[in-house]
Structure 1
Amino acid sequence: MISLRKLFKSGPDPREARRPLWNAVVSVARAPHWYVQGTVPDTLDGRFDMVSLVMALVLHRIDEDPAHKLAGVELTELFVNDMDGQMRQIGFGDMVVGKQIGRMVGALGGRLGVYRAADGSDELRAALVRNLWRGNEPAEAGLAHVMAEVAALRASLAATPVSDLVTADRLTGARG
């Protein structure tokens, strides 16, 4: 006879296999150099924007290998779950969290598109200014730092096989 516990017991959450990669994304996005040398505002919005930037670059790399499409979906679901938890921890209620999560997912989707712009391009520069500094022109040294670090991170990701990336607990070559 099957016990009720076994009948209703669910297996491990498959998204948890991406938890180390998610933690690496957050670690890279929270590295002090973005906020000090890069002059990205160290605010809730600035942190979200940095997580979105790093997340977009990682998802772009994962998308290059269709065999790992599910890993990208799982990583995105961890992003959503973490943002939901962070908002609840700050004190947002159920009525607000859903709308805010929708906005955040929309913002990530938009960034996935604009952050495909080539390294050093005017398009990438404009997207970074619009998203990281909310359209306010940053100090040239800060923007140059962020542009260089984005190029370095993208190169590091390109050199990493996607099969290794989706199981990574750190992003090779990234400062974070």
Structure 2
Amino acid sequence: MFSIRKLFKSEPDPREARRPLWNAVVAVARQPRWYEEGGVPDTLDGRFDMVSLILALVLHRIDEDPAAVRAGVELTELFVSDMDGQMRQIGFGDMVVGKQIGRMVGALGGRLGAYKAADGSEELRAALVRNLWRGQMPGEGHLDYVMTAVAAQRAALGAMRVAELIVADRLPGAPA
């Protein structure tokens, strides 16, 4: 039988269980070291690129556990929701936001594939140059710094059990 109470009762958003992990991804991506020592442009695009990089590394780790697939989807949905909110806050209108979100999701998809390249490989090096510096070679030492930091981040994530990762509120390498 239909209950009027059910009409007004809202179910909790299951994505919110991933909110601490999403916040941890953003915290790592916003660390000054990427922009200072790594020379990643400290721009809207540069920040998006760093969030995409760290998110890709986290999603790759989550994908290693078939039981955690839903957590990866929820984390990706939080990425989309946050990007939508950021764009609206900047002042993009409804007509533009959908197209931009589509482009961002496409960019994330491309990065997910590109960042599967092995640490230290020419494929990863090329992907980082293409995505973080828009195809322009970065300043001396910047690419090496980012390559080393990505390998360290991937290793630290690999040392975590996926069950712990999907409920984490802090990632290895994040500020305390």
The residue aligned with 1:34 is 34
Please list, as runs of the form range in 1=range in 2, the aligned pairs for 1:51-70 lying within 5 A after superposition.
51-70=51-70
The residue aligned with 1:128 is 128
Work out the number of aligned pairs and report it.
175
The residue aligned with 1:23 is 23
Structure 2: gaps of 5 or more residues: none
CA distance in 2, matches of 1:108, 1:8: 36
The residue aligned with 1:163 is 163
Q: Does 1:76 align with 2:76?
A: yes
For normalisation by structure 2, the TM-score amounts to 0.96
CA distance in 1, matches of 2:114, 2:25: 19
The residue aligned with 2:97 is 97
Identity %: 77
Cα-to-partner distance string for 1:143-162 (whole Å, 9 max, x where unaligned)? 11100100000000000000
Find the residue that maps to 2:112 and give its secondary structure.
Answer: helix
CA distance in 1, matches of 2:149, 2:5: 50
Q: Aligned pair in 2 of structure 1 residues 122, 140: CA closer, same or farther (>3 Å)?
A: farther
The one-letter amino acid of 2:41's match is: P
Structure 1: gaps of 5 or more residues: none
Cα-to-partner distance string for 1:102-121 (whole Å, 9 max, x where unaligned)? 00000000000000000010
Please list, as runs of the form range in 1=range in 2, the aligned pairs for 1:6-21 lying within 5 A after superposition.
6-21=6-21
The answer to whether the 8 A contact 2:20-2:168 is kept is yes
CA distance in 2, matches of 1:27, 1:49: 14
For normalisation by structure 1, the TM-score amounts to 0.96
